[in-house]
Amino acid sequence: MKIAVCIKQVPTREWQPRLNESKTWIREADAAFEMNEPDAYALEAGLRLCEQHGGEVVVCAAGPARVAQVVREALARGADRAIHVEDDRLAAADAYVTAAALAAAMREEQFELVLTGLQSDDQGHGQVGVVLAERLGMAHSTIIMDVQVEGGRLRVKRELEGGWFQWVALPLPALLTIQSGINQLRYATLKGIMGAKKKEVRKTALPEGLAPRQSIVRLYVPEKTKRTELITGAPADAAAELVRRLRDEARAL
């Protein structure tokens, strides 16, 4: 089975965000980066499927040169080779541009299965996977908790709201967005780290003519504020008003 796993490099969760002068993105020179956590679970799912059914796992990434860090990490964990669409403009690209860049680099590979994380830890739109599926002409399913390959088809378990789940059958080729926590992540071994240096990383350029469909107008760090409101009136009326505000405004009930 030929499996692609799309990964992204994001700022570490421990890093305190600092914004650039235009307040439209972070100051990347000050940031520390790591592999997007949902993508790490997608990678683990791909490696396990490859161990069960044979084939290869190819990691695919779109971003500036610094993304090579997480690409090599994925190779050290067990991926066979990598594709890196390298361009500085992809550092804060929207879902449309990112998906289009990945699709252009991946299309000729004819992957049977493409896995992505459910969403990224930085922008969190959860759209790259579904847009990529459309660009590649693949069936897709989202928020996947379990993947089974049966007779050339997929049987997947989707997480729904309220603790419910749904089993869905899909034909191959297909794209799945993987939920975090579905498996136990493996760590790179010393042998894997050394072997990653010899594995192929094919670099491609960003296709010309890709224009973003959305842009970040302004970012800001949330400010802590305190406000006290006194609800006056008869006790019964004040209690009813308190319940209404908790339900309709605070959404706490």
pLDDT in tens, 204-235: 999 999 999 888 888 888 788 888 888 999 99
Q: 27 near 168, Cβ under 8 Å? A: no
The pLDDT assigned to 128 comes to 96
**DSSP tag of 24:** S
**CATH number for the segment(s) 2-204:** 3.40.50.620
Model-level pTM?
0.85
Q: What is the pLDDT of residues 91-113, one digit of tens each?
A: 989 999 999 999 999 999 999 99
Please give the Cα distance from 104 to 162 (Å, whole number).
Answer: 38
Answer yes or no: are the C-beta atoms of 4 and 106 closer than 8 Å.
yes
CA pair distance 168, 141, nearest whole angstrom: 8
Q: What is the separation of C-alpha 118 from the centre of its chain, rounded to a whole number of angstroms?
A: 5
DSSP string, 178-205: EPTTSSPPP---HHHHHHHTTS-EEEEP
Residues of the chain with pLDDT under 70: none
